[in-house]
Structure 1
Amino acid sequence: MINQRIEEASNEVQLADNRVCFNSGRVENGRGEQRLEPLPLAFLNYLISRAGEVVSRQELLEHVWCNRQVTDDAIRRVVKKVRVALGDDAKEPKFIKTIPLQGYQFVGDATVPNEKPDMPRIFQGRSWWTLCSVALIALIIAVLFVFKNEEPAHFGAVVTPLTEISGSEMGGEYNAQTNTLVFMYRGSNREPFSLYAKDLNRDLLYRLSEDDGAYHTISMSPDGSQILYQRDKGDGYQVFIADYVEGVLRHPRRLDIPQQKLALQGWSADGKEILYHAYVMSENQSHKASSKAIFSYSLENNISRQITFPLSKGRGDVLARESADGQYLAVVRNQQLRQYRLLVFAQHDGKLLHETLLGFEASNLVWSQEQPNSLLLSSFKGQLARFDVERGLLTVSEQVTPGLNDVFGECGKDCLLMRRHGMNYRDIVSTPNPFQSSSVPPVMLKIASEQVEWSPIYSHDGSAIFYLSRDQRYSYLYRLRHEGPDAGEKTLLHRFDTLDAINGLQTSADGKYLLGRREERLFMYDIHNRQFKWLTGDDEQIVYANWSADSHYIYFSRVEQHSYKLLRYSLATSQIERVQDNALARIEDESGQVFVLKDDFWLSRLQADGTELALVQLPRLPELTIIVRDNALYWADKQSLIVHLNKLDLHTMQRRAFALSHNEWTFNFDLHPKLTSVIYSKELLAASDLVKVAGRE
């Protein structure tokens, strides 16, 4: 490794195929040109000056952030910007390597462009004061920008409603050829979805579904002559196609698609085929594992064929769109529980042209009408990215707009069609345990505010509830006492300076600690001392985590080289040791029974002789609650839009199910320690509409 001094005259450095100019912030490579802000530049400059050494967080704060107090998230955001610009991968780093719980290390080669190779010199970097000055200016600009743009929340974007309906609009799709908008709508949470269309040329709104049946997904053919939709008539969602004439669906007919549990993805470019994803099964030792693949169904000969073949431990291929000219097929693949990739295939020969790691869970994918051969990807949390197919370049917007998400089309240059919704879309409720009879009904609780509340759990003795809340900038961890002399006392325990998903809350059996995850990073909270502690590094992919029955250990699984490893963290020694391969979770109950969730989502019970007895295959979900109490197993799953709470009696192996909630996607719940009640986060009818957004990108 040769790291040479960057001359003040050039202020440039070559990092493999990346040419970085520290004066302009320009980064040039085979994928095009990007610009880095002063703070990421200062970080990269300092890391190169310490090439090969592990640079601690404290050193970064001193030499790059000039002793200012910043959060871990702020540092990670800067690191991510540098990696994106350089085309670096945190899992297989070519330049910046994360050393868990220690810091960062520059591991690449840095050379001065056009300098003779026989004149190596030690890279001295810029002075400490120069770096601090640059970083300080960047921080001041960032702070001014935040305060200036605190209101409105969408960074000055102009938002114009496309419809004027009071209720919830979802699943929008725009047909540019006919200038027509199609979508789903419901007026309350107790109603199923109906189908609507809006003729934007004549400003006419049509209700397409004549009855109150449960409809789901709607898509218009490229020429605007047909409508594709799903409907549940009591035996699951079936696929229908109908002719579309002047706001009316005519001659609806059911398509004979062999797969049962499928989700429509739209049309082929010529309108002769439809795309959908469905589960495919593969053998995994003695159990069957499944993930989603993309299928094409021919409307001419009524034949389905599988067109993608994911080798995935995640949900597989969750989104797919064919380009308007029919040249490309774009697919979003859930590789592992929280890892998503964008794949672009050539349609004429099926060749994989691009595979790009996404830094977020894309909930919508659409081809651009304004920029040929480019894609727009967006998330429910308000993230937005554009992918240029010709250059293979993914550009992620720095603006995150909670409540403004799911891009489904374009309306001109820097004009997007999106969904806007209120932030108060979940409250917390408790209900009697449907599997438990009691002469004294339990207290029923409801936790509601102007914010969204989710992930509630009971304290170890049931006297309090821990839960999470979020506004448009932060996430919060609260404790609410609902029993005893302090009933009604609400305490803010911790504020997360991030809008990332906080999930998996669990309380230890002794009531001393809370366990949870921010995205894929594990944390622990000391309730009595009000101390927050990260247990894993930011670049580690952590999935399910559980307390041991004695509260001495935390079991969790980590992704290592595309497989899951079950690990154990000791509270006494802070050491981590390996327990088992190809396992997602370990659950211990108060009687000493041990259960293991394998990577094919089969739950097994460990026998006395060390063998495993398979009990049930659970739904493949990034968030899955498994509770074992009084020799019974509890979990939740979803059929259509009905969430069922399940109980498996481990004596008789009798399984019972109860419809916990309708017309929503709730899966997380908790049981009171005395099994008297169930608490969960219930979806509200958050007012949402489809809008035109100018100035978002």
Structure 2
Amino acid sequence: MKSNNKNIKEWLNGRKCKVGKYTINFKQTSLEDGDEVIKLEPLTMELLCYLVNCQGRYVGQRELLEHVWEGRVVSDNAIRRVVNKLRNALGDDAKSPQYIKTVPNKGYLLIASVVYSAAPNEQTANPAAQNIPDDGTADITQTLPESQAPASVPETPNQASRFTRFALLTLAVTTLILGARFITTNSQTPNEQAQRFISIPGETLFADYNDTKQVTAFTNRKNPESHYQLYLKRTDSDIIQKLTQAPHNHLAPKWSKDGDKLAYIRQTGTSSEIIVVSFDDTMNIETSDVVAQYDSVQANLLWGPEDKQLYYSHQLSERAPFALYALNLSTKEKKQVTFPESDTWGDYHARFSNNGRLLAVLRYIGSGKVELRLLDLEKGKVRSSRYLNSTPLSLVWDSADRHVLFTHDGVAYRYNIDSQQLEQSQIADDNVIAYTDTCSKDCLLALRKQPNTVSVLEIQNPYNAPATPVTMFEFSSNFKHKGHPIYANDPSNVYFRTKIEDINQIVQVSTTGETNILTDFQQNENIYDLAYNPHAHAITGLIDDRVFILDLHTTQIDYVTTQMEQSSRPNWSADGSAIYYTRDEHSAPIIIKYHLTQRTKTPMFQGAIEVKEDQDGSALYVLSKDATLRGYQSNKLSTATFEHKVPTLTYISWHIFDGALYYTYSDGQYHLAKVDLASQTFSHKPLLTNANYAKFSIHPSGKKLLLKKETEANGEIIKLPADMTWHTYEHSISE
């Protein structure tokens, strides 16, 4: 690619300049420092010149795409690669920057000094820097020219709100995109102006539209601690009808084809009921029947092609994968339809084509990957299968039944069922996270959420109420997609996973506000189950099912396992010399102890899924597959001295602390349970209401807990045009 000298001249107003210690040589596309000459690629030079032009304010990826890449379709990784090339040329360090600073949700900021040696049209000040607040931060939307500002959305009396990910995607779902590139097949710019369709206070979720009755069923909750209730809205009216009031979650509403019946799931804790409601011509309820009862946290429901069956996701046991079941509404007979492999999460979403011939199924297989399967149930065949390096929440069919459509991270995808080709289109609104339904031949309904409504924060330990108030901190205002927070030895520092420039990284945040980015991943990795080593200043955890060790002194990462081992639940020994983790052998879990010094692995407990030591290492606590936690003296592993039932779900946690077992469990709301290890006395106290995630870390003093918590409920349904400009999407997948 040739350098765009016209752009460079316009951006720098014809001036020559020096950035930090380097003089920019435009003709030679190089940086010069005395006798040292560093050659830059043309695109890297353009990026540097644009950052110089915008010195004093943050520049986001969308602005770079418009002005440096001039609207060409490239992946986010392509931008990051050029930024990294520029940093390498400047000798800059992203973790301790001297030239280019990156701040989550804002963009790139040139922080090095800029000195101009010639200024034909020189101004006394950089106008781009005049809107910078005193604290040095800048909101890019305040400084963009009018032509660059985000398109406005028509206002309605209702306010925008946010969508929260449901149970499955809170557990382990994140993006893994490797080697992506896009080939343009249409040069037109897509026109995807969003229009608000349903926007009421609170968080709107699960919308289903019936074209026959021109009515939409949806769920909404007013705050993070309230329950989802069921509502109806006619297309020709602003009146919203509330159908439920009970203290339960009402999820996944689905219309029958004629619009006379509505099925939905009523959930209390892990107990679910499928309810079918029938309506008269004025949409008043005539009957309401419970047609099925089962235990499940996965809110997936759909009608069969002739409205004679309901399909739903169900797991036979806590560690079994979710499979699709069909319920015959006449006989109430249940039949298993899909049979996922035992090492997958299973089938979490499905949708029939409009003609009822094919069933599209999303199956989560781990490591941020999903399998899209098209099933021909009448012939009993898998029509096609495609692995996705993304994790869509849901999918829809187009009106012609030729494509399956879904979204992820602000990008729309469609899968051609005949050619089995995947195509991609950029959505103008980055906050769109899922298609929920079609509203006509030319219209799609989508869920839109606002970021940063989940915080990493401290709350008081309900069992340790001090006489004097304890200072609580909230750590994550500038980060998105936060998770797995942990304390260190010094409790003024916490560590958690978050997204930086749309890539998962591990960060350290202090109570004084200092932030350190500890990793420098160039592509998305699925990072979870972090644990701190109290003796070696290191962190272990999982990166795409591989146990890793992050040295916090050097920020170097070593891998303990391979991805083929399918490892899980790593924990440090009390003295920090070993890591316990679980892997599957012959379809059964086994505990492995990894010795850091010898770099050897010792098999220990068959059928167990997690091991932790107490604080002095004198006892071992082993959680079995059957949810039984047993305690052993470290020098006598043959006889258990303690036994208690503990949930094995991955979105709760348990800890041994100060002579007690602490763990979270749910009966519709989350409780913090405490069991005295000596007397085995059990007690419990309320912790979180209507949450879907209850992992926590205990402060070294025992007075506080650190956890991830929703601080705001907001989300809305918007309407998008179905006609978009599509580009062939080629990607490589690491199995």
TM-score, normalised with respect to structure 2:
0.64
1:321 aligns with 2:351: yes
Q: Is 1:481 matched with 2:516?
A: no
Relative to structure 2, which stretch is displaced further, 443-452 or 681-690? 443-452
Give the superposition deviation at 1:274: 1.6
Distance 1:394 1:69 in 2: 41
| 2:297 is the alignment partner of 1:297 | no
- The offset of 1:194, in angstroms, is 2.5
1:385 Cα offset (Å): 4.8
From 267, 274, 295, the equivalent of 2:303 is 267
Deviates more, 1:179-188 or 1:596-605: 596-605
Distance 1:491 1:241, change over 3 A: same
Which one scores higher on RCO, CA 8 angstroms, separation ≥ 6? Answer: 2
1:438 Cα deviation (Å)?
3.5
Which one of the candidate residues 235, 250, 272 is aligned to 1:216?
Answer: 250
Q: Percent identity over the alignment?
A: 22
Superposition pairs for residues 296-695 of structure 1, below 5 Å? 296-310=326-340, 312-334=342-364, 340-348=370-378, 350-366=380-396, 368-372=397-401, 374-378=403-407, 385-390=413-418, 393=420, 395=422, 397=424, 403-410=431-438, 416-452=444-480, 453-470=482-499, 473-482=502-511, 487-498=512-523, 500-510=525-535, 512-536=537-561, 541-558=566-583, 564=589, 566-574=591-599, 582-590=607-615, 591-599=617-625, 602-606=628-632, 608-610=636-638, 615-616=643-644, 618-640=646-668, 642-694=669-721, 695=724
What is the CA-CA distance between 1:576 and the residue it aligns to? 5.3
Matched to 1:513, the amino acid is A
- Unmatched tracts of structure 2, length 5 or more: 1-71, 76-83, 95-178, 727-735
Q: 2:16 is matched with which residue?
A: none
CA deviation after TM superposition for structure 1 residue 513, in Å: 0.9
Quick one: distance in 1 between partners of 2:407 and 2:316?
26
Q: Distance in 1 between matches of 2:654 and 2:269?
A: 28
After superposition, the Cα gap between the structure-2 partners of 1:655 and 1:219, relative to the gap in structure 1 and judged at 3 Å, is farther
Secondary structure of the residue that 1:687 maps to in structure 2?
coil
Name the amino acid aligned to 1:675. G
In structure 2, the residue corresponding to 1:162 is in which secondary structure?
A: strand
Structure 1 window deviating more from structure 2 (438-447 vs 670-679): it is: 438-447
Q: CA deviation at 1:357?
A: 4.0
Question: What secondary structure sits across from 1:255 in the alignment?
Answer: strand
Q: Distance in 2 between matches of 1:580 and 1:339?
A: 29
Q: How far off is 1:371 after superposition?
A: 4.1
Please, which of 218, 225, 230 is the counterpart of residue 195 of structure 1? 230
Distance (whole Å) between structure 1 residues aligned to residue 439 and residue 92 of structure 2: 42
Post-superposition shift, 1:512? Answer: 0.9
Change in 2 beyond 3 A, CA 1:690/1:540? farther
Give per-residue Cα distances to partners, 1:142-186, cap 9 Å, x unaligned.
9xx9xxxxxxxx997433322242432111223344454321122
User: What is the one-letter code of the residue matched to 1:456?
Assistant: P
Shift of 1:547: 1.2
| 1:543-601 deviations in Å (ceiling 9; x for gaps) | 22111221122233345675555444443355556555554333222242223344555
Aligned residues of 1:460 and 1:511 also touching (Cα < 8 A): no
Distance, in Å, in 2 between the alignment partners of 1:311 and 1:160 is 41
The residue type equivalent to 1:468 in the other structure is R
Residues 672 and 234 of structure 1: CA distance in aligned 2, closer, same or farther (over 3 Å): closer
- AA of the residue aligned to 1:211: Q
Deviation string, structure 1 residues 50-106 (Cα, Å, up to 9, x no partner): xxxxxxxxxxx99xx99x9999xxxxxxxxxxxxxxxxxxxxxxxxxxxxxxxxxxx
Q: 1:304 to 1:205 in 2, by over 3 A?
A: farther
Q: How does 1:38-117 map to 2 (within 5 A)?
A: none
Give me the TM-score of the superposition, normalised by structure 1.
Answer: 0.67
Cross-structure match for 2:61 = none
Contact preservation (8 Å) 1:385, 1:394: no
Change (3 A) 1:601 1:696: farther
Give distance in 2, aligned partners of 1:273 and 1:396.
Answer: 32
- Alpha-carbon shift at residue 671 of structure 1 (Å): 0.7
Aligned letter for 1:221?
S
What one-letter code is carried by the residue in structure 1 that aligns with 2:502? Answer: R
Unaligned runs of 5+ in 1: 1-36, 41-60, 72-138, 146-153, 282-287
Q: Structure 2: which amino acid aligns with 1:206? A: I
Partner AA of 2:389 in structure 1? G
Question: Letter of the aligned partner of 1:276 in structure 2?
Answer: Y
Contact 2:374 2:383 in 1 (8 A): yes
Task: Name which of 213, 228, 239 aligns with 2:263.
Answer: 228
In the alignment, is the contact (CA less than 8 A) between 1:666 and 1:683 conserved in 2?
A: no
CA contact (8 A) 1:189 1:685 kept: yes
1-structure distance, mates of 2:687, 2:725: 39
Equivalent residues of 2:567, 2:582 under 8 A apart: yes
Tell me the distance in 1 between the aligned counterparts of 2:689 and 2:353: 36
* 631-640 or 507-516, which deviates more: 631-640
